[in-house]
């Protein structure tokens, strides 16, 4: 008895927009949130992954603690902590400034930091595994040539390891966009939240979530194509093979 109505997406919402416009608005927020979180995750993940392989035990122990905490606490719990708890823990003046931000800005920053740090713990483990998979002679030869330990990591070990871990990084890149759906729990109207809102207004759940699924599919396929392009451009013949 369900009445299909694909034309509902072009119906006006009463605010000068269409329901399809709502989905595109949510898609834009999802893309922006995913990209910001990915930059945070990549920078911190590489730093923590390198720290886990350093000879200084206290440094590697701190990095390991960072990874274990973020990997073992549910993402939704971390999101609520960043949104509700962290502003209360900041110095009073800074906390009040954060609370005066536009609500969307507060939600976006909390979600981006949460997603970025959560993903950085996963990337850190991949970076660590990539570095440790390299032959010991790579480090030894670099040090023998007069490079410092920092230069060895910067010019030899990290570039080689990153080429090895690009395939799993592709999965993490796509996962960031999928995990962004949890941001709706704090009120951010990204793609999944816009879909639920559209259902509330139109009572057309099948058309809505089919459309949302297609949006996510196109987004993640595009992310995969970008990472495949990066793999091809950074490939070193005989070292890492792109399939």
Question: Are the C-beta atoms of 63 and 52 separated by less than 8 Å?
Answer: yes
Helix (H, G, I), strand (E, B) or coil at 146: coil
Taking only the tens of pLDDT, the chain with its 243 residues reads 788 889 999 998 877 889 999 999 999 999 999 999 999 999 999 999 999 999 889 999 999 999 999 999 999 999 999 999 999 999 989 989 988 999 999 999 999 999 999 999 999 999 999 999 888 888 888 888 888 888 999 998 999 999 889 888 999 999 999 999 999 999 999 999 999 999 999 889 999 999 999 999 999 999 999 999 988 888 877 665 444
Q: What is the dihedral of CA 237, 119, 172, 132, to 10 degrees?
A: 30
Using left for φ > 0, alpha for ψ between -120 and 50, and beta otherwise, residue 28 falls in alpha
Residue 53: how many other CB atoms lie within 10 Å: 21
Q: What confidence score (pLDDT) does residue 149 get?
A: 87
Q: Where are the domains of the chain?
A: 28-191
Q: What is the pLDDT of residue 2?
A: 83
Output the CATH code of domain 28-191: 1.10.3720.10
Whether 117 contacts 48, CB under 8 Å:
no
Taking the mean position of all CA atoms in its chain, how far away is CA 215?
Answer: 18
Q: What is the largest CA-CA distance in the chain?
A: 77
Give one DSSP letter per residue of 92-141, joined into a string.
Answer: HHHHHHHHTS-HHHHHHHHHHHHHHHHHHHHHHHHHHHHHHHS-HHHHHH
pTM, entire model: 0.91
End-to-end, the C-alpha distance of the chain in Å comes to 48
Residue 196 has a CB neighbour count (10 Å cut-off) of 15
């Amino acid at each position: 008895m369900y009445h299909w109505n694909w034309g509902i997406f072009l119906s006006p919402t009463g605010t000068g927009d269409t329901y399809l416009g709502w989905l595109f608005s949510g898609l834009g927020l999802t893309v922006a949130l995913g990209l910001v979180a990915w930059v945070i995750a990549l920078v911190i993940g590489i730093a923590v992954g390198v720290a886990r392989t350093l000879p200084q035990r206290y440094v590697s122990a701190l990095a390991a603690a960072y990874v274990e905490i973020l990997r073992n606490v549910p993402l939704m719990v971390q999101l609520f902590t960043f949104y509700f708890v962290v502003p209360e823990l900041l110095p009073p003046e800074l906390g009040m400034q954060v609370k005066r931000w536009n609500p969307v800005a507060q939600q976006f920053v909390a979600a981006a930091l949460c997603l970025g740090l959560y993903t950085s713990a996963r990337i850190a483990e991949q970076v660590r595994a990539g570095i440790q998979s390299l032959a010991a002679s790579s480090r030894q030869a670099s040090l023998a040539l007069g490079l410092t330990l920092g230069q060895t990591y910067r010019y030899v070990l990290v570039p080689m390891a990153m080429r090895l871990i690009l395939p799993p990084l592709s999965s993490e890149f796509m996962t960031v966009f999928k995990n962004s759906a949890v941001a709706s729990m704090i009120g951010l109207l990204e793609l999944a939240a816009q879909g639920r809102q559209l259902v509330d207004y139109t009572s057309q759940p099948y058309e809505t979530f089919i459309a949302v699924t297609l949006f996510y599919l196109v987004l993640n396929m595009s992310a995969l194509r970008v990472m495949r392009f990066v793999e091809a451009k950074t490939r070193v013949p005989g070292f890492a093979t792109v399939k």
